[in-house]
Chains A and B, each alone.
Chain A
Amino acid sequence: MLLNQFLLLSAILFTIGVYGVIVRKNGVLVLMSIELVLNAVNINLIVFSTYWGIAGQVFALFTIAIAAAEVGVGLAIVLLIYRNQRSVDIDELDEMKG
């Protein structure tokens, strides 16, 4: 079984996703990076399900469904931001500065 390889793939995907979330300025790309993070988790769940039964795959299906919803909400927010700001640059959204 190629467990180590899959976990390695998952970790790489996660790291790339986190990097994207932190450094990309485009809001849409940030959302896409979040998808990478979620898929990294999904890979983990499915890989472990071969050892501990079907529950991992069920969780993965839930995650995909919720991720679809999350992207829907996220894109709507980004769309509204764009309408207000004429831009989707996240760096400009600092009205919450204390």
Chain B
Amino acid sequence: MWFFTHVWIIPALMALSFLLILFFGKKMPKKGAEIGIVFVGAAFVLALLTGGNWIAWSNDNPEGHGPAAEGAALANVDPSCSSVAAEAAAVGEGVEQVEGKTAASEPAGAEKGGHEEVATRPVVSCVNWFENGDQTISIGTLVDGQSVLLLIVVTLISLLVHVFSTDYVHGDRRYTHYFAFLSLFTASMLFFVLSENTLQMIVGWELVGVCSFALIGHWWEEKPNSDAALKAFLTNRVGDIGLLVGVIVLYFAAGKSFSILDLNILANEGGISHNLLLIGSLCLITAVMSKSGQFILHTWLPDAMAGPTPVSALIHAATMVVAGVYMVARLYPVFFEGLSISGSSVNALSMIGAITALFGAMLAFVQKDIKKVLAYSTVSQLGFMVTALGVGAWTAALFHLFTHAFFKACLFLGAGSLSHACHHSFNMVDDMGGLRKIMPKTFWTYLVATAALAGVFPLSGFWSKDEILAGTGSFPGTQGANGEYHVMLVMLLLAAFCTAAYMTRTIWYAFYGEYRGHGTPHESGPRITTPLIILASLGAIAGIVNLPAAFDFLPEGAQTRFEHYVEPVGLYFPAITHAGFNPALAVVSVLVGLAGIGLAYLYFFKDAFAGLHGLAERNKVAAFFKNILVNKYYFDWLYTTVIVGFVKGPLARAANWFSANVIDGLVNLVGKTAVGSGNWVYKNVDQKVVDGAVNGAGSSASGVGAMLRLTQTGRIQQYAALFFAAVAILAGVFVVVIG
């Protein structure tokens, strides 16, 4: 429990690291890198300990089913931040003894997933952030399997990226600031994943966006880099509007509560109307589209590759871009109910994900820049995760997030290692080739990660991708899926085929053939290759944490561990079902992957399909399609020329006309009126009334003075005469009056 209530220490450590690097980094012998590594290492150890504690915590869960037990599972939620959860917990407390036993005897729990599901016991602690009227906004941590998973992934990848960066950006002019921002990013991301309420989520969401902006533009002296940073930031702003509106809608829907648990429980138990949930989830999908690079707001992600490669690995592959996926997973009841995911065959979330998965993968074929290939691959894989969430395969999405973080970070760091050797060029077509023998460690790790991404059995990508494909429930013979998403299955299979093929293409260009660059390439140092080896190993074996339940030949407690510990069960999570393992589908998906690899192998390595080489130069239809891909479906053209053009041209002219005529006219009118009234006041009030009064006072005083000075003759005897005359008169008056 101590680890769950004090989990805030982990982001706080990284925030402290940021400040220390910022203030003392330049004075340190290693320019601040050691502060970052020590702190992120400590954070990683704490995250691992939290993970271990979570497993122990889940294992000694009291038995019991039914609503009462599910309520009682919320007993560790701080009542001050989640009133609905606290109510449910109080109800559960009272009837636990009675109903817990009767419910346990029902086979309802056993029916769902083939094994008993015990309600998850999330731990929520919070403090008062600020109060506004009677509304209290709290800030705190929500610890359950999902947040603990992200804690471990983020700190692990961050640690490896820190180590990698000490070599990769060695001697950079803003070396210290680079590490400061890595720390700040890690702190923000951890803050985001531990969010207890949606408002806190927005804060974390924006913080990681700012760090992403700063790190993409790390080498801002070159115009394209700062442009890319701005593009990332502005594109994300579009989606952030959706996030803001969605959170506000859900805030009012949940009876003025930002609490994630309250919102989830209410959405789950039918406390919020379907239409409100639909509106809220559609708004939040916009946010997912921008942050997680889904069509049509994905355009910033490939450009974000302008940043340093370790940053791309950390932020734009493994962690920040999955924030959208994480957010959907966190608020899953909203989407599950709002989009009616169960029992249907199409919805907005899965459609966007499937389109992104397929079209993103196709774009990767025409890229020369190895990082751009990986960027589109990330877009495509994020599409897989979003599709998985859209079809109800929650665990599959999180599992793919988990495995993808390892092998995609490995691929990005591998690309960084390649460019480190090839004079900082990422152009694999023109500046690489034949590096297999020269850089064996990079080659083998890259190969393993590629195979994992392509879904080769038994590497981790196979297991997670297969779970997503099964989750669509479309393949004949699949048991227990939430709906039948036929279109998604077809598109995902095509995307998997493309993935295998374009990754084979990068291997061909980077590692085979003749070296086409200049200079002598060399293998990178241990600080670069060690993270690669660790990530490649994890990418290879991570699949064992969630072996299918159907593998009953394995010892007890070896299957679906990931699902068991990560996926919540209880009031705040919808009762989703889990698609069973389908051997036929697994064979098909492996065959599709191998077909992609095989065809690409024949095409590039063996020069087969000679008729297809250079087809675009000869065939107009092929050229047309290639042109579309090279121009990235004209999305950038649509945004910059059409939309921005419209804004810049007619709108700007209209604004100018309005400004020149209406506003300027108004201003001139006001000015003229002011001058006119000023003149009138000057002439009439100031000159006549005020000056008249002043002059009048002066001249009357002077007139009186002129009269009085006549009496001042200076003759003393005249004064005496007047004095005596006055005395005589006064005496006379005195006598008359008194007498």
A and B pair up: yes
Report A's interface with B, CB cutoff 8 A.
Answer: 18, 21-23, 30, 90-91, 93-98
How many residues does chain B have at the interface if contact means C-beta atoms less than 8 Å apart? 13
The answer, yes or no, to whether B614 is at the interface (CB within 8 Å) is no
Name the residue on B nearest A37 (C-beta): B724
Interface contact B720-A21, CB-CB below 8 Å: yes
Interface contact B724-A18, CB-CB below 8 Å: yes
Interface contact A98-B715, CB-CB below 8 Å: no
Q: Cβ of B721: which chain A residues have Cβ within 8 Å of it?
A: 22
Interface contact A93-B716, CB-CB below 8 Å: yes
Interface contact B724-A90, CB-CB below 8 Å: no
Whether A94 touches B715, Cβ cut-off 8 Å, given contacts A18-B724, A22-B724, is yes
Q: Cβ of A94: which chain B residues have Cβ within 8 Å of it?
A: 713-715
Which of A21, A23, A90, A98 gathers most chain B CB within 10 Å? Answer: A98
Interface contact B709-A98, CB-CB below 8 Å: yes
The answer, yes or no, to whether B700 is at the interface (CB within 8 Å) is no
Q: Cβ of B677: which chain A residues have Cβ within 8 Å of it?
A: none
Whether A91 touches B715, Cβ cut-off 8 Å, given contacts A18-B724, A22-B720, A22-B724, is yes
The answer, yes or no, to whether B717 is at the interface (CB within 8 Å) is yes
> What separation, in Å, do the CA atoms of A93 and B713 have in the docked complex?
10
The answer, yes or no, to whether B619 is at the interface (CB within 8 Å) is no
CB A78 to nearest CB in B, in angstroms, measures 12
A96 contacts which of B710, B714, B717, B724 (Cβ < 8 Å)?
B714
Name the residue on B nearest A18 (C-beta): B724
Q: Could you give 22 example pairs across A and B, Cβ below 8 Å?
A: A21-B720, A22-B721, A22-B724, A23-B717, A30-B717, A90-B715, A90-B716, A90-B717, A91-B717, A93-B714, A93-B716, A94-B713, A94-B714, A94-B715, A95-B714, A96-B714, A97-B713, A97-B714, A97-B715, A98-B708, A98-B710, A98-B714
The answer, yes or no, to whether B135 is at the interface (CB within 8 Å) is no
Q: Cβ of A97: which chain B residues have Cβ within 8 Å of it?
A: 712-715
Interface contact A98-B712, CB-CB below 8 Å: yes
Known A95-B714, A98-B712, A98-B714; further 14 A-B contacts with Cβ < 8 A: A21-B724, A90-B715, A90-B716, A90-B717, A91-B717, A93-B716, A94-B713, A94-B715, A96-B712, A97-B712, A97-B713, A97-B714, A98-B708, A98-B709
Name the residue on B nearest A30 (C-beta): B717
Q: Cβ of B713: which chain A residues have Cβ within 8 Å of it?
A: 94, 97-98
> What separation, in Å, do the CA atoms of A45 and B158 have in the docked complex?
119
> What separation, in Å, do the CA atoms of A18 and B723 have in the docked complex?
11
Name the residue on A nearest B705 (C-beta): A98
> What separation, in Å, do the CA atoms of A21 and B711 have in the docked complex?
19
> What separation, in Å, do the CA atoms of A94 and B711 have in the docked complex?
13
CB B383 to nearest CB in A, in angstroms, measures 107
1/0 per residue, CB under 8 A from A, across B481-514: the answer is 0000000000000000000000000000000000
Q: Cβ of B715: which chain A residues have Cβ within 8 Å of it?
A: 90-91, 94, 97
CB A32 to nearest CB in B, in angstroms, measures 14
Name the residue on A nearest B708 (C-beta): A98
Q: Cβ of A30: which chain B residues have Cβ within 8 Å of it?
A: 717
Q: Cβ of A23: which chain B residues have Cβ within 8 Å of it?
A: 717
Name the residue on A nearest B712 (C-beta): A98
CB B84 to nearest CB in A, in angstroms, measures 97
> What separation, in Å, do the CA atoms of A16 and B378 have in the docked complex?
131
1/0 per residue, CB under 8 A from A, across B695-739: the answer is 000000000000011111111110011001000000000000000
Interface contact A21-B714, CB-CB below 8 Å: no
Q: Cβ of B708: which chain A residues have Cβ within 8 Å of it?
A: 98
Q: Cβ of A21: which chain B residues have Cβ within 8 Å of it?
A: 717, 720, 724
Q: Cβ of B717: which chain A residues have Cβ within 8 Å of it?
A: 21-23, 30, 90-91
CB B718 to nearest CB in A, in angstroms, measures 8
> What separation, in Å, do the CA atoms of A21 and B718 have in the docked complex?
10
Q: Cβ of A18: which chain B residues have Cβ within 8 Å of it?
A: 724
Name the residue on B nearest A23 (C-beta): B717
Q: Cβ of A22: which chain B residues have Cβ within 8 Å of it?
A: 717, 720-721, 724
Which of B710, B712, B717 gathers most chain A CB within 10 Å? Answer: B717
Name the residue on A nearest B727 (C-beta): A18
> What separation, in Å, do the CA atoms of A21 and B713 have in the docked complex?
17
